[in-house]
Amino acid sequence: MLSRLRIVLVQTFHPGNIGAAARAMKTMGLAELVLVNPRAFPDDEATRLAAGAADVVDNARVVESLDEAVADCVQVIGASARLRSLPLPHFDEPDAMAQSALHNAQSAPVALVFGRERSGLTTAEIRCCTHQVSIPANPDYGILNLSQAVQILAYELHRAWRTREDSGFIYQTPTQATPPTREQFGHFQRHLHEVMEKSGFLTQPHARTEEQLQALFARAEPSRRELSLLRGLLSALEPESPDDPERANEGDG
């Protein structure tokens, strides 16, 4: 479905903005880029700012008119900060736009059109669109860079897609560190007790200091590697002593 979503840039002046827009697209799973009469393309600056999305730039299609860019689309959404007098359906919120675009992209291409860096889309170009969308922003300063606008709306498209039941999107989760065994945690607690005792930290036998520290480390749920680092810190702080055969057999797992 994302493959039927097309980003169209009209008469982009700075080639770097083409590359930055391509990068914004690729991070959100979009690949089809169409350029209407860009001032300079191909251009090394576009490729440089695309970073890892050079393939999107390389595969970009250049056409002479907006009509040509959207001829096969069933929905054409013009991104514009200025409201026009044209009686076009207007999306006040980008998420509503994204839901509509995803619905239509199930069967045919849908285009999201962005105008020039300084002046945006002309009234004639808006007439080529079926809908209009604006990005809600600070009314005193609602100016967005071209690639920033592409990133925001591309994100909304991706969000609308990934939350669908049939998207198959898999959320990335951090690698879960292996927790220590109870035996390893017990060795740490005994080691901590020895260091605190040798250092004179435990000066009040009836205080709950040790119990509170043990509860602290239990809540922290350190991994085996983190527990090993703590053991190393304790070893560095305690006075030199004969090798402890119990510790010699321990590792971070």
pLDDT at 251 over 80: no
Ranges assigned E (strand) in the chain: 5-10, 32-36, 61-63, 75-79, 90-91, 110-114, 131-133
Contact (Cβ atoms closer than 8 angstroms) between residue 50 and residue 24? no
Q: Are 74 and 39 in contact (CB under 8 A)?
A: no
Cα separations in angstroms, 21 against 66, 179, 205: 18, 42, 66
pLDDT tens string 138-180:
888 878 899 999 999 999 999 999 988 778 887 776 555 788 8
pLDDT, residue 174, reads: 59
| Tens-digit pLDDT profile for residues 2-52 | 999 999 999 999 999 999 999 999 999 999 999 999 999 999 999 999 999
pTM, entire model: 0.70
Residue 88's pLDDT is 86
User: What domains can be seen in the chain, in order of their start residue?
Assistant: 2-162 (3.40.1280.10), 182-248 (1.10.8)
Q: What is the dihedral of CA 138, 139, 145, 147, to 10 degrees?
A: 70
Query: What average pLDDT does the structure give for the chain?
Result: 88
pLDDT of residue 167: 80
Whole-angstrom distance, CA of residue 83 vs CA of residue 2: 28
Q: What is the pLDDT of residue 80?
A: 85
Give the bridge partners for 63, in sequence order. Answer: 36
Q: What's the mean pLDDT in 107-117?
A: 96
